[in-house]
Structure formats: C-alpha cells, structure tokens
Structure 1
Amino acid sequence: MTDNETNPKYGGEGSDDSGPRTADKSAQGVVAAFGQTMKTLRLRAGLDREELGKRLGYSAATIASFEQGRRIPPPRAIDRADEVLDAGGLLKVWKEEVERAQYPPFFQGMAQLEKQAMELLSYDTHVVKGLLQTEEYMRALLDMRRPPLDPETIEQRVTARLARQDIFDRRPTPLLGFIMDESVLRHRYGGTSVLRGQLEHLLLVGQRRNVELQIMPTDCEDNAGVNGPFTVVMRRDGKMFLYVEAQSTSKLETDPEQAGLASARYGIIRAQALNPRKSLEFIEELLGEL
C-alpha cells in the first residue's frame, strides 16, 4: 500500500465506474486462471455447464462466465464448486486472490483495511455508505450509472459490496461509526419501496452494540463536514488511514497527520449531529412520512 494512492478512472463506494470488470491485467489474469481451473475440474468430473449450474444454483451461461473470466464468482460459489467438483481445496485456495480482483486497484487497499479495522468512522453526504446499503438500494444506484453498466458488472459490484458487510459480525468486533446528512435519507433512489427498505435496515444496524449511527439534520447551523464525505480507519496496530472519494477519483491517505486531522474533524461532526438515540427516532419519523 503506497502513500496517496489515487486512481482517476475507477469508482468505489458510490461511484462504481463503467470500466472493465477486472480493473487491471493482473486481476484479469487471476480471474482467468481460476476460471480455467474450474473448467478443468468440471470436465474431469464429467459435468456439463448446465449440470454444474444446477448444483451451484446458477445458469449454464453464468458458469460459462466464471470459466471464461468474464464474471467473478462469490466466495460461497467457490466453496460449493470445490465440494461439488471434489477439488480437495484446489478452488478454495483462490478465494482471497479472486476476492481482491473484484475491486479496482485503488480500492483493494481500502477493502483490506476494512478487514483489519479496529475502528471505522464514516461521514457521508450523497448516498448511504456501501457497508450500510441494502441489495435493492445498491442495484438502484448501479442502475442509474451513466454510461450504463452491463448486467455482469452490476452483479459483480453487488456481490463485492455485500461481501464487505461481514464487518458487522467479525470477531474481534470493530467499532463502527456512521454519520449521514439528512438529505441522504430523503433521496428516493429506486423508488419509495427501496427507500423504505433501506431506512428499515438502518434502524436494525443502528441497534447493534458496536455501531453508532447518527444523522446530521439539514437545519443544523454548524457542520464541520462541509468539505465532503470521508472515512477514517484505525487498524488493530493503531495506525490510521484516511479514505476520500469523489467524482470517480479516490485517495487512500496513509499520512498519520492527515488521518489524525480527519479523525478529529469526525469528532466535531459527531458532536454537531443528532446523537444515536435521536438519530434512530429521526429515521423512524422519515419512515412514517413514506
């Protein structure tokens, strides 16, 4: 991981770019090699794509996409394929590399940090944080991308984002703080039913003991977050990182001074926003308006 990692082309949390499904040649090579291994094992087992698809819960076309490196399989599909093809763990050893290949190069570092986080603090002003999004909300955001994303890219983005949400159940339990502008929760992306499901999900997540969920109301006269959204991650070794994303550009900042300043700024925003209890009450009120 290098200082000031940037990439002007690919988007992460809310700005998934319509670029290649695997962002660089090394990632493409990993996915292609996995697909070839899967195909070799399938042929050894005497199964056609349709039969393997039935056993894994996918269509023959999706199995072809896996084997040809055009689509990245989710971890559960890799585990199940290893069992069905009696691979003896040969497919499972690819899981970590294949998972990393789901993300554009700049976001691979952030995805890894999420796995190592002791504390994660996020302030958002445009869309609900990816870690908090429902699948329906994710799909609504991805469907709105222009130029449009192809279906396989959307499936990959959804799979990757859902996989990151295991952070809530990880042990040891990380401390997670999320502050969102009120406007984020009023945008009816995907329609009223999608927003309702998203708000209900936030209420559930906000009740977790390791989560602090807060709302910054639009009538608040002071907001230290006027410069935009950001995320601060503290690793278990105590080192802090700052992640910023906007308009298809992203930065993973490793300078401790910058990360420390962002953490301090988050503390001020936290004090200005509604406290967690009032924030959940606020979300309940928004639900009542739908």
Structure 2
Amino acid sequence: MHTDERDLKAFGRELRRLRVEAELTQQALARRISQRGTTISDSHLSDVENGRAMARPWLRKFLDEVLESDGRLDKLWEELTGSGRQVWLHEVTKRTHDADALFEYQPLVFPVYLQTQEYSYALIRYGAPWLSQEQVLALAKERNDRAKRMAEATSPVIWLIIDQSVLWRRYGSPQVQKEQLAYVAHQIERERVTVQMLPIRAPRHAGTSGPRRIITTAEEPEVVYMESAEEGRIISGSADINRSRMVFTALQGAARDPQETLQAIYDEMKAIDNE
C-alpha cells in the first residue's frame, strides 16, 4: 500500500516527540523493542522518525507499549492513513482554523466560518428543534465568535464554491438572508475569501456527492471533511483526497467566476428589497 510521504513524516515527528519525552535515545528504544522478541536496529527507527520508512503494525504496537503512550501511535497512524472515520466537531474546527488553505463546496448553506449570528441561529433553531432557545443562542454565538476570528485572521486562504440555491434560501427571514449576503459580499470585497457560484442549471454538476472541505496545512497531512445531516467524517487516504480535488476542480470549471458571483449576491440583495 502506498503511503503519502507527509503521513510518514507526521508519524515520525510524533514518535520522536514521545521518545524524547520518555528520555530515551534511539539506541535505547531499539534495544527495548528487541528485548520483546523482534530485533530492530536504531537506524531503522531513525528512518521511521525521519519519514523514510513505515512503522509496521507490530512495531507500532511495541512502540506504544515501550513509550507507554496509551496506543497514541497506532491511533495516529489510523488518523493519518484511515479514510472515512467519524470526526468530532472540535477537531474539524481546530483543523479548519489552523489550516493554510481551505477549498470548500457547499450546496445548501454558507459555511460556519462565514455565518452571521442571526443566520447561524436560524439554521440551528430549525435544523435542531429539540434544542432549547438558550442552547440555540449559545451555539449561534459560539459560531459567530469563531467566524469573527476567521474574518480577522490572515489565514487560511479560503476558496468557496456555493450552489446558486444558497443565495435564494431565506433561512430565518428575508432580512436575515440579506444581512448574510451583505456579510459575505464584504468578505469578498476585502479579499478575505474567494467565492464562486455554481448555476442551478449547470449541465456538468459535480457536486452531487454533497458538501466537502479540503483542509491543507503545511505541517500536517492534507485531509477532506465530508459532512452530512447527522455526522461529519475526515477523509485522509491519498487516493480519496485526490478524488475530492478532482471534484473541486470540476466544480470550479462549471462555476461562475468570482466577479460574476459577487454581482449575483448584490442582485439577490436587491431582489429581497423588492419582495
């Protein structure tokens, strides 16, 4: 199985951190593993730490045992190379805000990092009717606080593709939608985000598999966040990421250019005024 070089380097960095934390040299760690019945050289451990070699399942098991890391290395390997695992909200939020670049497609709503508080409130209030008003208010405020931090930051670079229907929806009320559109237009004007709109009648529509976010970070392996109504999943397999990039490129080719999209947003704001 081919393993991305970035995955190997990320695993190696964590192995080195755990080894240093345990106050062991590579030679000492190799010796302790060899005492468990499988001989390994310190040069091989060096290759693993530097991303030149892959740690086999038996080695990951012994490393976790010797370093007393509670299975950390085996879990990390699954995170780096496993594809389709369920992800916690705080994890994808951290990955998103720590990223160098985001490439996202949204067919139904503006992403959370571009939402006004009123827009977030409407989405949560009617999308999760079992929550109390206090809970909805708290969640909407939390989203808005994160959105403000994203707007004020210089990274990540954000390239967003939305379906045209996102402009037409009236979550909460026409006024809530108008204020949301105005907020997005402002972020486009100040070049904080690049937005393209996929026309509703686009004949080559590659977005039928749902929303996705490609998260690119210099110090971490690239991942894709796939979201459904009930859960989100992190896709980390190299082949799966390449497929998502192909989908995003196809969406870019079918979408309106950023200036046309900005004009469409202003046109929709005028349409709301005339309703």
Same fold, TM-score > 0.5, yes or no:
yes
Kindly state the Cα deviation for residue 238 of structure 1 after the two structures are TM-superposed: 6.0
In the TM superposition, residue 156 of structure 1 has moved relative to its aligned partner by 2.9
1:279 pairs with one of 261, 266, 273 = 261
Distance in 2 (CA, whole Å) between partners of 1:236 and 1:222 is 32
Aligned twin of 1:178: 160
Contact 2:118–2:140 (CA<8 Å) still a contact in 1?
Answer: no
The CA RMSD measured in Å over matched residues stands at 1.7
Q: Is the 8 A contact 1:168 1:174 kept in 2?
A: no
**Residue number among 191, 195, 206 corresponding to 2:177 in the alignment:** 195
Partners in 1 of 2:105 and 2:86 — Cα distance? 20
Q: What is aligned with 1:98?
A: none
Stretches (4+) displaced over 6 A: none
1:127 Cα deviation after fit: 1.5
Are 1:251 and 2:199 counterparts?
Answer: no
**CA-CA distance at 1:210 after TM superposition:** 4.1
Which residues in structure 2 correspond to 1:213-252 (within 5 Å)?
Answer: 213-237=195-219, 239-252=221-234
Q: Return closer, same or farther for 1:260/1:160 CA change in 2, 3 Å cut-off.
A: farther
Distance 2:247 2:220 in 1: 18
Structure 1 counterpart of 2:153, one-letter code: R
**Higher-RCO chain (CA-CA 8 Å, sequence separation at least 6):** 1
1:214 Cα deviation after fit: 1.0
1:181 CA drift (Å)? 0.5
TM-score (norm: length of structure 1): 0.62
- The DSSP-based 3-state class of the residue aligned with 2:127 is coil
> 1:244, CA displacement in angstroms?
0.8
Q: How does 1:107-146 map to 2 (within 5 A)?
A: 107-146=89-128
Task: After superposition, give the CA deviation of every residue in 1:57-82 in whole Å (9 maximum; x if it has no partner).
Answer: xxxxxxxxxxxxxxxxxxxxxxxxxx
**Count of aligned pairs:** 191
Give ranges in structure 2 of 5+ residues lacking alignment: 1-75
Distance 1:145 1:118 in 2: 30
Classify the secondary structure of the residue corresponding to 2:131.
coil
Shift of 1:146: 4.4
CA contact (8 A) 2:205 2:251 kept: yes
| 2:151 is the counterpart of 1:168 | yes
Q: Kindly provide the amino acid, as one letter, of the partner of residue 134 in structure 1.
A: T
Aligned to 2:63: none
Q: Secondary structure at the match of 2:250?
A: helix
For residue 100 of structure 2, give the secondary structure of its aligned residue in structure 1.
strand
Distance 2:120 2:258 in 1: 24
| Matched residue SS, 1:113 | helix
User: Gapped runs of 5+ residues in structure 1?
Assistant: 8-105
Percentage of matched positions with identical amino acids: 22
Amino acid at match of 1:250: G
How much does 1:224 deviate?
Answer: 1.3
Structure 1 counterpart of 2:86: 6
Cα distance, 1:240 vs structure 2: 0.9
Equivalent residue for 1:148, pick from 130, 135, 140 = 130
Alpha-carbon contact 1:174-1:210 (below 8 Å) kept: no
Cα deviation digits, residues 14-34 of structure 1 (max 9, x gap): xxxxxxxxxxxxxxxxxxxxx
The change in CA–CA distance for 1:168 and 1:257 in structure 2 (over 3 A counts) is farther
Structure 1 residues 112 and 197, CA, compared in 2 at 3 Å: closer, same or farther? same
Deviates more, 1:209-218 or 1:269-278: 209-218
The verdict on how the C-alpha distance between 1:6 and 1:274 changes in structure 2, with shifts beyond 3 A counting, is same
Contact 2:162/2:198, CA 8 A, preserved across alignment? yes
